[in-house]
Amino acid sequence: MSTHRRFVLAERPVMRAPRPSDFRIEEGPLPEPKAGEVLMRTVFLSLDPYMRGRISAVKSYAKSVEPGETMVGEAVGEVVASQAEGFRPGDLVRGHIGWQTHGILPAAQARRIVPAGFPLSYYLGVLGMPGRTAYFALLDIGQPKPGETVLVSAASGAVGQLVGQIAKIKGARAVGIAGGPDKIAYCREIGFDAAFDYKGKDDEALVKAVAETCPDGVDVYFDNVGGIIHDAAMANLNLRGRVIICGTISGYNRLEQPDIGRRHLRVMLVKRARMQGFLVGDYAARDAEFEADMPAWLKDGRIRYREDVVEGFERTPEAFAGLLEGRNFGKLVVRVGADPA
């Protein structure tokens, strides 16, 4: 494994779903770290919905990937060469090296993983960005109180499955929305009080399904999807309800066009609701809170966690396309290399 492979953006998908052919593999010799840098070998690569925004030219919170550039993303792996003080070959790290089999990281951007008995891939999920997203967005913006109802969309996904379980830990009722009977069964298995399948449901049926699964209304809606599922949640929102805008995946293939649909300004007013956008990077300074809770919850079984592991670096583009169609079941990661010895 001495060649370096990476995926670059070949073509920007505009107003359509991404296809595997939108990415192109490039090969070359292994890069060499300069002073202050490490070379990391990828073990797992994370695939996440936010990446769809990065290959769009629409202005967002981060720079777009240009055709010809390496596709962005976070990975976990081991240091194989180091020119940085404090890092040695064999050290476990995570970092934003993109879709690559190996990547150079400045020491300041290499986040060390201290082995604690968890699979390495967990640091891309429940112990990584999606875990922090579920934790801080639900607790800081959603602020669920015991007995309240927390509704979450994409409920079996990387973030959603954790949102439901954290809601339960905090004494709230958790209700999930997901696509297909297996995902619904999984939500129930990990402790959601109710869950329903959005597939095949029109606007009215969605409103009814939320009403049936949330008989006391929705106090916190954790929105990963936008679209008509958002509308169904808003139609059932309680007085002083909180709406967390964490993702809008239903519209990710048409970011170039305005999102036209029902507006809920009147609901916001009548219900004195609060809606807030969330980005996990804003919570870096509060990381100790997450570190104090999540590994312990995971260890004692209060949090269960499901991953969808795709084998083989070359399948990354195909797995990414599937993610945007909801074909994954649980947090999607790609196994790129063997676990460290």
Q: Which of 226, 295, 326, 330 binds a copy of itself (CB under 8 A)?
A: 226
The one segment of 7-15, 121-129, 257-265, 311-319 that binds a copy of itself by CB under 8 A: 257-265
The length of the chain in residues reads 341
- Report if residue 261 touches a copy of itself, rule: CB under 8 A: yes
Q: CA 259 to CA 257: how far, in whole Å?
A: 6
- Report if residue 114 touches a copy of itself, rule: CB under 8 A: no
- Report if residue 330 touches a copy of itself, rule: CB under 8 A: no
**Which residues are paired to 310 by β-bridges?**
334
Q: Which of 22, 148, 223, 308 binds a copy of itself (CB under 8 A)?
A: 223
Q: Which of 26, 182, 216, 259 binds a copy of itself (CB under 8 A)?
A: 259
Nearest to 74 by CA among 94, 55, 90, 93: 94
Q: Cα-flanking dihedrals φ and ψ of residue 305, to 5°?
A: -150, 130
- Report if residue 230 touches a copy of itself, rule: CB under 8 A: yes
- Report if residue 340 touches a copy of itself, rule: CB under 8 A: no
Which residue, 32 or 282, is less far from a copy of itself as judged by CB?
282
Longest dimension (CA), the chain: 62
Q: CA 30 to CA 199: how far, in whole Å?
A: 45
Residue that the structure tokens 């020119």 belong to: 83
Report, in Å, the least distance between residue 237 CB and a copy of itself. Answer: 10
Which tokens sit at 310? Answer: 């795709």
Report, in Å, the least distance between residue 53 CB and a copy of itself. Answer: 9
The C-alpha R_g of the chain, in whole angstroms, comes to: 20
The site map against a copy of itself for 266-295 (x = CB under 8 A) is xxxxxxxxxxxxxx--x-------------
- Classified as helix, coil or strand, 208 is helix
Report, in Å, the least distance between residue 204 CB and a copy of itself. Answer: 12
268: left (phi over 0), alpha (psi -120 to 50) or beta: alpha
Which positions lie near a copy of itself, rule CB under 8 A?
Answer: 60-61, 223, 226, 230, 245-248, 251, 255, 258-279, 282
